[in-house]
Amino acid sequence: MQKRIQPYAVYSDGQGNIFEDTQLFAAGRSGQNFYPLYLDEMIPLPEGSDLFELPGRHTLGYNRNGDLVASPDGFASAAFIAPANTQLSIAAWQNSPDAPVLPLYAYTAVGWYKGKFYVPAVRIDSDTRQDCEHFNQKVIIKRGKEILKKFPDNRLVRHIIENCAFVYYCPAARNFAMDRWEAPVPTSPTCNARCVGCISKQDSKESPVPETQHRLTIVPTVDEIVQFTVPHLENAPNAIISFGQGCEGEPLMQWELLRDSIKAIRAKTDKGIINLNTNGSKPDAVDKLFDAGLDSIRVSMNSAQEKWYNLYIRPVDFTQADSMESLKIARKHGKWASINYFVMPGLTDTPQELDALRALIGSTRLNMIQWRNFNIDPDWLFSRIEYAGYGENCLGVQQVMKRIKEEFPHVYFGYFNPNKDTMAENMVNY
């Protein structure tokens, strides 16, 4: 029996340098449950990932006796892994009493072995649309300025290019600047949910973390939307336009605008995919959007269990049942339905969550699970939703994926909204 290899734990020296601690082997965690990491469950740190130093925290790792101990050196470190890769374990750290809440990123475990960083993760989507090798910011700025000249009076194009592509480095906005793949169409300054980890709205009275993207302040017109989306659908390879972006509230708050825009777009072109990223709160409106020509929908879900869904999403005027109804309506129209499933080891991989996810798939007949990393400080999340960090009999995220695939082989796994070809190859009407 070959001995399983354990990578070393790592720590930051406080000067932006990360070192391996050769006295400790790397640890991972699911909720409050800690365990050793082994190389055969890890991948090299994907290109385009970031490595973080975690203030007020010490690295936890396993010494030669197999005891879980805190590293005396520096600060804990974690990886913010590149898109298309799903985390399997959170980083293991020990909080100091004055440890600040961490900003809205994912904090995946990381280890070091023979000159390389490794992370417990899987490449869940082969699509390379957000791989960093595609993004040369100098070229993006040049192309972005050309687009601003092409649409001088278009407020939405200005927001997408000047804010999203040039400041937030949003991959979708930068792909729009490069005239390829998925382009963003934000439309709504308001929302009918109060997600704890909303990246576009954090109430400074109750939240210790900043929003990562300031929310859109305009409501575009049908003409402003049609003006740039039709050329994108006509000319871009594997073209998709997506309503519902990180820099806005809930697009269904503007459903009439979306309906009229979709009709106007489809009157000019039948190319590409028109997608809606949403909290799914208004199934009746969703029905009318599919009548208008919508092609696919993606509904956000931090948990398939109503209790954790309500404590995180904090819906104002809707329920999780409404969000699931929106998925069913997409299937009723024979269209593609995905969930934007926030993966948090310790919550996502419990037996209860697996059962609830199986029930959700069975009742909605959804086509795809987008296994997305939950961008939030796990300790802050667990405290905000009063979650005891279940952990001890966690199944492991990979095991959950395996069980779902065994029971629902037709459910497509990925990270991104599928283009027309991917849908055609994987659409199973069941």
Q: Which residues bind ligand SF4 (CB under 6 A)?
A: 191, 193-195, 198, 200-201, 249-250, 279
Residue with tokens 């037709």: 410
Nearer residue to ligand SF4 within complex by CB, 77 or 277: 277
Q: Which of 30, 29, 32, 9 is nearest to 19 (CA)?
A: 9
Q: How far is the CB of 415 from ligand SF4 (least distance, A)?
A: 18
Q: How far is the CB of 278 from ligand SF4 (least distance, A)?
A: 8
Nearer residue to ligand SF4 within complex by CB, 155 or 314: 314
Nearer residue to ligand SF4 within complex by CB, 215 or 335: 215
Round to whole Å and give the CA distance between 158 and 224.
11
Nearer residue to ligand SF4 within complex by CB, 171 or 249: 249
Range 24-63 burial, b when 16+ CB lie within 10 A, else e: bbbbbbbbebbbbbbbebbeebbebbebbbbebbbbbbbe
Nearer residue to ligand SF4 within complex by CB, 92 or 170: 170
Round to whole Å and give the CA distance between 341 and 298.
10
Q: Is the dihedral of CA 312, 287, 430, 87 positive or negative?
A: negative
Nearer residue to ligand SF4 within complex by CB, 77 or 340: 340
Q: How far is the CB of 200 from ligand SF4 (least distance, A)?
A: 5
Nearer residue to ligand SF4 within complex by CB, 24 or 347: 347
The Cβ of residue 425 has, within 10 Å, a number of other Cβ atoms equal to 9
Q: How far is the CB of 250 from ligand SF4 (least distance, A)?
A: 5
Q: How far is the CB of 85 from ligand SF4 (least distance, A)?
A: 21
Nearer residue to ligand SF4 within complex by CB, 182 or 250: 250
Residue with tokens 């999203």: 164
Q: How far is the CB of 273 from ligand SF4 (least distance, A)?
A: 21
E strands present in 206-282: 240-243, 273-278
Residue 309 in contact with residue 337, Cβ under 8 Å?
A: no
Round to whole Å and give the CA distance between 284 and 263.
17
Round to whole Å and give the CA distance between 304 and 42.
27
The Cβ of residue 176 has, within 10 Å, a number of other Cβ atoms equal to 29
Q: How far is the CB of 310 from ligand SF4 (least distance, A)?
A: 13
Q: Which of 418, 328, 346 is nearest to 389 (CA)?
A: 346
Nearer residue to ligand SF4 within complex by CB, 108 or 277: 277
Residue 14 in contact with residue 53, Cβ under 8 Å?
A: yes
Going by the DSSP 8-state scheme, the letter that residue 215 receives in this structure is P
Q: How far is the CB of 49 from ligand SF4 (least distance, A)?
A: 23
Q: Which of 21, 113, 92 is nearest to 378 (CA)?
A: 92
| 314: region left, alpha or beta (phi > 0 left; psi from -120 to 50 alpha) | left
Q: How far is the CB of 176 from ligand SF4 (least distance, A)?
A: 20
Nearer residue to ligand SF4 within complex by CB, 42 or 191: 191
Structure tokens at 283: 């199934």
Q: How far is the CB of 289 from ligand SF4 (least distance, A)?
A: 17
Round to whole Å and give the CA distance between 394 and 9.
22
